[in-house]
Amino acid sequence: MFDEMPLSKAIKKVANKGNWNELTKGCSDLFTYHNYQYYYGLMSLHFKSVDFWQTDYIHILESQSAIVEWIKSTALKPYLNCLQDKEKISFENEVLSEIKRYYPVQNNSKILFPFKRMFTIGYK
């Protein structure tokens, strides 16, 4: 799910170009993504029935920079951990530029940031 989001594509695009490619090599491998079929396979071994649902949250943010701040401790963290302080700022700025392509400013100057979440419950 996350790897299909524009946000993920923006980060990967920046990380794969120029000198970032060498400096952040292997960072994307630190994330593990699985679809609902994978989790169903695991859970169905331990539960009599399983429920799944997916929700799209639409976060209303003040700026595109707020998206970068939001993801510094999650999606950007492995990349930033590989960089020196000055490099971190440059990397964040390039990610911000890419994010602006995917998350436009709305009429009221807000940014709509859709974010998918998958939930599951197992019943014994």
Quote the number of domains for the chain.
1
Q: Which helix (H) or strand (E) holds 84?
A: none
The torsion angle over the Cα atoms of residues 36, 41, 46 and 51, rounded to 10 degrees, is 30
pLDDT < 50 regions, the chain: none
**pLDDT at res. 33:** 80
| CATH code assigned at 61 | 1.10.150.290
Structural domain span for residue 58: 2-123
How far, CA to CA in Å, does 54 sit from each of 78, 92, 115? Answer: 26, 29, 10
pTM of structure: 0.84
C-beta separation of 95 from 31 below 8 A: no
Instruction: Give tens-digit pLDDT for 89-104.
Output: 999 999 999 999 999 9
Instruction: Provide the 3-class DSSP secondary structure of residue 75.
Output: coil
Give pLDDT, residue 28. 82
Radius of gyration, CA atoms only, the chain: 17
Tokens encoding 92: 């964040």
